[in-house]
Amino acid sequence: MHGRVKTRTTAEENEKKKKDREKKVAAYAAGMEKVFSKRKNGELDEEGLVISGQLLSANPDIYTLWNFRKEVLSHLKETLDKENLEQIVATELHLTEVCLRYNPKSYGTWHHRCWVLDKMLPISWKKEVAVCNKYLDLDERNFHVWDYRRFVVEKAEVSPEAELEYTTEKINKNFSNYSAWHYRSKLLPIVHPDPSSIRPIEESIHKKELEMVESAAFTDPYDQSAWFYLRWLLGRIRPNLSICQAVLNRSTVSISFNQNVNIDCVEINGLDTSEWRTANSKPFSHIFVSKMNEKLFESDEELIITIKSKQTNTVLDTVLLKKISDQLAIYKKPLHFEAEFSPGLTAVLRQQLDSCTKLLEFEPDSKWALLTSVYLMQAIDRKKYKEKTMILLGKLMDADFHRTTFYSDLRSRYKMEYLLEEVLNNDSTIKFTASDCQLSALYHMEHLMAIQIVDLSNNSLCSRSLPLLSYLQFCKVLKLDKNKIESLKGFPNLPYLESLSLSSNQLNSVEGFDLFINNCVNLRSLDVSDNPITKSDLFKEKLKEFHVLQKLNDLTILS
């Protein structure tokens, strides 16, 4: 038996591991206690750096320790000479490298390295770019390094053209590099901007990028990186700020914008109207409302609304309103959601759609090919591919059921766009109907600001859609029957609403009912029949309470 290595039993191994853990925990607790003590007593010295460095080497994700080190370093910067400070900085950078070897994706470590290089001493940023190259050679998909690289190349004044070439090298080496594709999408609009602002980038480059990403996507149809980049290339450009609609009467002026904004300055016939409120009671909105100066209606002058920027003193948009009567003036911008691609670029998109179609013959459940086909159809000819788009979205819900809500909402968006284009380009329309359309979400509601009758019944809308109804500023009749609304919490203030129908929903709570009754002051008819809430004693008590307070004297409630 002599000379043989004694093998520990399982119990002995477990006991040893337990003691090792206890020793580490005790050392960690003692170290943290020491750090907190020094911080409390204002002892910002090198001993604190040593203790916190030991703790971070074992666990680099303790933000408190990194923050403590920043405090110490800031203090030492004011007290040490340049030579000693350079030594401190070198030690600090070495510590981050040690921590990154332990965890290359440590947020705290990367943030601390940025802080040290930016706040402590001037360094050679070109050398730090080489460090980024080294890390990305080891792990080309580490998004922390890509994020750090953007910080470093800005300091090193590396040209966007050089960085774009670097992303090309990385993508050619490995198509499955999401960070490289993403970085590329940020660089291209800088290097190759589109003069017309119709596309994300200049047309000839746009074609080359489409061909490049097509090759990547079809090399590995199940890798998402290239498909996401292709979606960006097909994306719609955010238009310049403009007025969609404007309604002026003798008491108020309501304006809807094509963006969610915080307006700076709006003038009506040269007069600054500054007392604006948002339709959704938040700082940013698509719709703003203000009191109207009655004298503007008394003159024969045209009514002109101008949006200005006070900071730059530039005019952002100007519209002329048509007087319907001496009580009302309206402006409506023609509405369309078509993509604006040239014939040459459209030909490239058609070629890509053909490629997706062929791929789907072999891989009928490829979600990326299905989804990209949808985006391509919307970009090429929305009206021609209307029915096909809906069929593919249905297939996506079956093939990728974990993301059914996303596909359902995307279908809702497209259906809303089709309906809005069809209905709202008629100047005389006062009614919008989107019943029985399988809507699970609401989109572009700012375009319905002036509509008086809105029918959204028999869909799949739930309470999350209620805040978007705030854009229905002139709605008198609103139908929401046969949806999935659970409560009235979030129901907005609709000043002109007279009739609301919520029958056959899932209302099961009185939450938000008080605010709803108080906000909709002109409401005369409310239908909540065939809802779970109507059987609730709490709801019945709430109705009695409102009757006592005389809030329901002119309101008929069907329950």
pLDDT digits (tens, 9 = 90+) for 20-39: 787 888 888 888 898 889 88
Name the β-bridge partners of 329.
248, 323
On whether residue 14 sits in a domain, the answer given is no
Name the β-bridge partners of 431.
453
Query: Last residue of some domain: 410, 443, 470?
Result: 410
pLDDT at 147: 93
pLDDT at 1: 44
**Distance between CA atoms of 418 and 422, rounded to whole angstroms?**
6
On whether residue 46 sits in a domain, the answer given is yes
Both 159 and 274 in a single domain?
no
Q: How is residue 118 written in tokens? A: 């930016």
Both 31 and 172 in a single domain?
yes
**Distance between CA atoms of 225 and 214, rounded to whole angstroms?**
12
On whether residue 132 sits in a domain, the answer given is yes
Both 209 and 76 in a single domain?
no
Query: In what helix (H) or strand (E) does residue 411 lie, and over which residues does it extend?
Result: helix 404-424
Are β-strands 525-527 and 556-558 bridged in parallel, bridged antiparallel, or unpaired? parallel
Both 183 and 201 in a single domain?
no
Both 129 and 40 in a single domain?
yes
Both 229 and 247 in a single domain?
no
On whether residue 169 sits in a domain, the answer given is yes
Both 309 and 353 in a single domain?
no
Nearest to 418 by CA among 399, 394, 438, 404: 438
**Distance between CA atoms of 373 and 385, rounded to whole angstroms?**
10
CATH number at residue 169: 1.25.40.120
CATH number at residue 298: 2.60.40.1130
Both 380 and 274 in a single domain?
no
Both 202 and 269 in a single domain?
no
**Distance between CA atoms of 279 and 471, rounded to whole angstroms?**
6
On whether residue 297 sits in a domain, the answer given is yes
Query: Last residue of some domain: 376, 410, 444?
Result: 410
Both 208 and 283 in a single domain?
no
Q: Supply the pTM of this predicted model.
A: 0.81
On whether residue 8 sits in a domain, the answer given is no
Query: Last residue of some domain: 187, 203, 219?
Result: 187
Q: Which domain holds residue 64?
A: 23-187
Longest dimension (CA), the chain: 115
pLDDT at 140: 87
Residue 225 near residue 176, CB atoms below 8 Å: yes
pLDDT digits (tens, 9 = 90+) for 305-335: 888 877 777 888 888 888 777 778 888 888 8
CATH number at residue 485: 3.80.10.10
Helices (H), 300-385: 343-362, 367-380
Both 363 and 263 in a single domain?
no
Q: Sheet of 431-433: strands edge to edge?
A: 431-433, 453-455, 477-479, 499-501, 525-527, 556-558
Residue 522 near residue 498, CB atoms below 8 Å: yes
Q: Which residues of the chain have pLDDT under 50?
A: 1
Helices (H), 63-177: 63-79, 82-102, 107-119, 125-138, 143-156, 160-173
Nearest to 360 by CA among 410, 407, 399: 399
Residue 434 near residue 458, CB atoms below 8 Å: no
**Distance between CA atoms of 399 and 368, rounded to whole angstroms?**
10
Angle at 156 between CA 151 and CA 161, to 5 degrees: 85
**Distance between CA atoms of 77 and 75, rounded to whole angstroms?**
5
pLDDT at 468: 93
On whether residue 277 sits in a domain, the answer given is yes
Residue 349 near residue 210, CB atoms below 8 Å: yes
Q: How is residue 135 written in tokens? A: 């890390």
Both 213 and 357 in a single domain?
yes
Domain count, the chain: 4
Angle at 509 between CA 508 and CA 514, to 5 degrees: 140
Which burial class, exposed, middle or buried, applies to 82 when counting CB atoms under 10 A from its CB (0-12, 13-18, 19+)?
exposed
On whether residue 12 sits in a domain, the answer given is no
